[in-house]
Structure 1
């Protein structure tokens, strides 16, 4: 190594030493250690904030607890909890009950679907609201403010029927409030009991006050028909049934006497409360909302008497099936409108049982309707025969009647007197043709009430009708005809045509003239407008009935001719030549003479 090289190495080493001494940075802190320091600072900050928040929450809880304690007293602890949905169900219904308040929130009928084939919710938490209130020393207590713990058990009764019991309890060592629901297989009835266990001096009321409001959910396509058949019904302990009308206006009523049951009854389904003893102070309200998804808004407020801190009643959530309702309690079958007293017996004792019997053998309800028509017409055939013969007699003596009209046409009283004499001599009764028809009228009008309320026809199809419980739409019109609608019901059209044909045929058998003759043609047209939006099953029944009646009269005409009837009339004429007037005839003639004299004076 020469001198120059040695000098260079020494200078290079000196530069490195100087740089290291003056310019090198301090040792780096590891990254993990820096993060830990940041976390420590954050934890300290959060701890400080949490401490402040805890103090604030503690103050709020103290204030809240004080307010709750002031409002609920010893029941304050029962107002804190978690709301859960509890389910009680059998093969027919599913009932959802909330742990808050232990009230029914939702009911689903498993056997049925809504008109758009969705699960049929009789009501739900949005459409129905129940409030049970009891007086306490701290003021009115709403049970919906309390939380309940639940337990459910299943067992069998003596008949081997499975029964589910849901028990909901709320309270402390000083006492409990117990609500129990019981549901048996094959039943639409949910029994509920309410009990106050201990709590001496806490509850001051002797009744449980209920307010129940339900926006009845539309289950059928035809909203107008559903509203027409929906009512708020009630039945008093004295055995009187009544309801609010079917109008659209707000209706209210306070019932003066105790009530056995109250029901929110729409066209095919009912939600009801049935007392173990009675309901008192009952008020009911009904109105029709603008919302097309709601049939009606119905509400009731009532008191349930407490005996030794206990009360009980039964819910009914199910179909309006006459035989099913009849088994529930007294008068409950009246939720199905069977018509006025002079026709209701036909539906209650004949048609309902016929339907139930034929359902065992036939699944097509169009066929069942046809069979019912034939059975009824067969049973009423003697009356039909007598009616035909009576009208035929009046027809064959028409020449004699025309003679009297020519002779006494200007004297109505004399005309009537001479007609009565003629009828007596010929052995003809002017009402012989009408009376059998009048006796058949209850069967004719009974169907007008039965078919719109027959749940058996609901969503049952036949031919082109997809649902016999509502109108059949053969085709839709591009416009709306007043009082008719925007659709054409083919069954209603067939019924109208058949009635006009029957009227034409019937006019050939009677002596009807003038307005009475034309009335037979006007009525079918009027009914075409009325029944166009009624159930297809009703129009189909009337159509088949007209055709069978037409066939019966055609058959009778084959075996009974006018010559034979005329011969019988002449035979009666000979027998009655010397016949004295009956007391009734004499009284009738005297009354007519007296009326004529009064008119002349």
Structure 2
């Protein structure tokens, strides 16, 4: 009974203790504010522990990377020194990258590459090509500029593979770009470019400082300049015809490489080298001549249907000389249009880059056609300026046309009498010749007078043939249906290509060919009517007839791809000439009066000059010898 009571008491005691403990726990539980503070403390502790862990990881990783980078840099520097010697320093600078420096003036946008230190892009800001794309002379690695030299530690280096450090400064309104290939902070090879405001020409200097113990003076130092010229015109074949390498040498002489697949030449004392791209030109000029120059030109247009990006590839190898172990060469760069007025203004013989013709042909262009056209185009649209200039030329040449037509009329009047002489002395060629020449002399006529206009007009014809393809002012100037007077006009596109003609139809050459046909029909027909057929001589009338049809056809094919301005000139010129000849024939020349005047002249004693007397004596002696030989 007591054990049972004890068990109950024990149970009651445990229950009371449990209750008391629960009450104490309830009384001591944290408030919501205390719970929040505890949670915050807990989170802060966890964050601190995580941060400590991250910092430990970063410190460990940085130490490992630094150790690897140090080893890598050490290996790389050793490799660079083995490869570049003293010039390894340049590859350790921040500029040792393919970054570019961009500079602009009003006319040019230029990019200079750290690698090689040269112009990696040249954009002419005011011009576009036939497809309205900006004109670039240098872009996308089409050009290279390099100095190849040896070092005193037996290395051969190329600047195009090395890194230059760029700096940009100002000299008044001019911008100076200095590209330095460094051996140390104050020893370097420098390309110094000075870009001038509103100029296509910039100053360019190559100089070294403190490299007398680095560059090997016993080895040749060569400057290599190369360009693959971009196509800018509608006709790649036509543009390629006027794309050429031109150079000045031996104190003012100028020459150019040919148009063959490969043309090369070595010249002495070269002052400038021009890589001419028809209407645009890149020129390197030297203040003091290069002793020699190895020049090459490659034709890249094998098939004008396929080769449509580049026209030619040019190369120039020019030696650089050392003075006291250093390089100091002062030069200029020109990147701009092949415009006679701009190039001539520099007074450095650069006008020879524009092919105006040699001798009298160039003289006519320089002092007649260029000033005249410049004056007319100053207040007239370019097409009308060509027409007015054509009229002026034909007016100046009209006296020659008049004399030629009068001579042909005299020959026509004399034809019956010449036929009589031919029949009378058909067995005596010498006597026939004497009598014919005597008749010409008395009548004041000459069979050669009909050739006079062609001979006199030949310099004008050739000068204009050179003027129009070279006239930069005509580039992309429109007239009537011609979109560009410096290129061919197109009225129809052919679905196929005709050899020597092209894949298009130009209207101005057709009009010019028709005008030439009628002009030649008038002049050649007159000559055929007046020209007697002499025994033993070829029938000139047949030859003239062939020429009457062949010349217009040749004109049609030849000028279909030429500048439409030139075809316009010949069309208008022949129209005006036909008009002048019709006026002379119908209102000025009277064949009856000419015949009467010839008969009066024949009655007058004709005084012979010394030459005529001598010729007559020689012919008489020859006739006597012939007669004496017959008697024997």
Question: Which TM-score bucket, shorter chain as reference?
Answer: 0.7 to 0.9
Q: Give the one of 186, 194, 216 matched to 2:198.
A: 186
- Partner of 2:556 in structure 1? 528
1:314 is the counterpart of 2:342: no
- Partner of 1:547 in structure 2? 575
Worse overlay, 209-218 or 100-109:
100-109
SS in 2 for 1:380: helix
Distance 2:524 2:206 in 1: 68
- Partner of 2:434 in structure 1? 417
Distance 1:454 1:47 in 2: 72
Residues 307 and 359 (structure 1), Cα distance of their counterparts in 2 relative to 1, 3 Å cut? farther
- Partner of 2:105 in structure 1? 90
Larger radius of gyration, structure 1 or 2? Answer: 2
Residues 88 and 585 (structure 1), Cα distance of their counterparts in 2 relative to 1, 3 Å cut? farther
Distance 2:248 2:362 in 1: 18
- Partner of 1:68 in structure 2? 80
1:295 is the counterpart of 2:311: yes
- Judge conservation of contact 1:384–1:437 (CA < 8 Å) in 2: no
CA deviation profile, 1:37-79 (whole Å, cap 9, x unmatched): 6776676566545444332321121111123234444443222
- Judge conservation of contact 1:417–1:589 (CA < 8 Å) in 2: no
Worse overlay, 211-220 or 171-180:
171-180
- Partner of 1:203 in structure 2? 215
Distance 1:87 1:306 in 2: 31
- Partner of 1:430 in structure 2? 447
SS in 1 for 2:526: coil
- Partner of 1:214 in structure 2? 227
CA deviation profile, 1:299-353 (whole Å, cap 9, x unmatched): 1111133445321111111111123222335432221112243522222221112
Could you tell me how far 1:580 is from its partner in structure 2?
4.9
Distance 2:622 2:279 in 1: 57
1:485 is the counterpart of 2:502: yes
Distance 2:446 2:459 in 1: 23
Distance 2:77 2:616 in 1: 91
Distance 2:362 2:438 in 1: 40
Residues 408 and 95 (structure 1), Cα distance of their counterparts in 2 relative to 1, 3 Å cut? farther
- Partner of 2:30 in structure 1? none
Number of residue pairs the alignment of both structures matches: 575
1:167 is the counterpart of 2:182: no
- Partner of 1:468 in structure 2? 485
Could you tell me how far 1:280 is from its partner in structure 2?
3.0
Could you tell me how far 1:239 is from its partner in structure 2?
2.8
Could you tell me how far 1:284 is from its partner in structure 2?
1.6
CA deviation profile, 1:510-538 (whole Å, cap 9, x unmatched): 32523223322221112211111111111
Could you tell me how far 1:406 is from its partner in structure 2?
3.1
Could you tell me how far 1:169 is from its partner in structure 2?
4.4
Residues 265 and 500 (structure 1), Cα distance of their counterparts in 2 relative to 1, 3 Å cut? same
Distance 1:581 1:422 in 2: 16
CA deviation profile, 1:357-408 (whole Å, cap 9, x unmatched): 223222x111111111111112222222211211111121111122233334
- Judge conservation of contact 1:99–1:150 (CA < 8 Å) in 2: no
Q: Give the one of 136, 148, 151 matched to 2:165.
A: 148
Could you tell me how far 1:132 is from its partner in structure 2?
2.3
SS in 2 for 1:397: helix
Could you tell me how far 1:295 is from its partner in structure 2?
1.1
Could you tell me how far 1:585 is from its partner in structure 2?
5.3
- Partner of 1:265 in structure 2? 276
SS in 2 for 1:441: helix
Residues 465 and 412 (structure 1), Cα distance of their counterparts in 2 relative to 1, 3 Å cut? farther
Distance 1:356 1:328 in 2: 19
- Partner of 2:544 in structure 1? 516
Could you tell me how far 1:264 is from its partner in structure 2?
0.7
Residues 40 and 416 (structure 1), Cα distance of their counterparts in 2 relative to 1, 3 Å cut? farther
Distance 1:589 1:40 in 2: 129
Distance 2:144 2:454 in 1: 51
1:136 is the counterpart of 2:151: yes
Name structure 2 gaps, 5 residues minimum.
1-7, 23-38, 302-306, 532-540
Could you tell me how far 1:459 is from its partner in structure 2?
0.4
Residues 70 and 186 (structure 1), Cα distance of their counterparts in 2 relative to 1, 3 Å cut? same
Residues 524 and 414 (structure 1), Cα distance of their counterparts in 2 relative to 1, 3 Å cut? farther
Q: Give the one of 129, 132, 140 matched to 1:114.
A: 129
Residues 54 and 65 (structure 1), Cα distance of their counterparts in 2 relative to 1, 3 Å cut? same
Worse overlay, 443-452 or 492-501:
443-452
SS in 2 for 1:271: strand
SS in 2 for 1:532: helix
SS in 2 for 1:506: helix
Distance 2:489 2:280 in 1: 22
1:231 is the counterpart of 2:244: yes
Could you tell me how far 1:423 is from its partner in structure 2?
0.7
Residues 314 and 498 (structure 1), Cα distance of their counterparts in 2 relative to 1, 3 Å cut? same
Residues 413 and 40 (structure 1), Cα distance of their counterparts in 2 relative to 1, 3 Å cut? farther
Please tell me the root mean square deviation across aligned C-alpha atoms, in Å: 3.4
Could you tell me how far 1:31 is from its partner in structure 2?
8.2
Distance 2:321 2:200 in 1: 24
Could you tell me how far 1:590 is from its partner in structure 2?
2.5
Could you tell me how far 1:96 is from its partner in structure 2?
2.1
Distance 2:616 2:124 in 1: 63
- Judge conservation of contact 1:279–1:304 (CA < 8 Å) in 2: yes
Worse overlay, 473-482 or 406-415:
406-415
Distance 2:387 2:617 in 1: 48
Distance 2:439 2:190 in 1: 83
- Partner of 2:603 in structure 1? 574
Could you tell me how far 1:597 is from its partner in structure 2?
5.6
Name structure 1 gaps, 5 residues minimum.
18-27, 156-161
Distance 1:299 1:588 in 2: 62
- Partner of 1:158 in structure 2? none
- Judge conservation of contact 1:468–1:537 (CA < 8 Å) in 2: yes
1:348 is the counterpart of 2:361: no
Could you tell me how far 1:413 is from its partner in structure 2?
4.4
SS in 2 for 1:245: coil
Q: Give the one of 361, 364, 371 matched to 2:388.
A: 371
Could you tell me how far 1:464 is from its partner in structure 2?
0.3
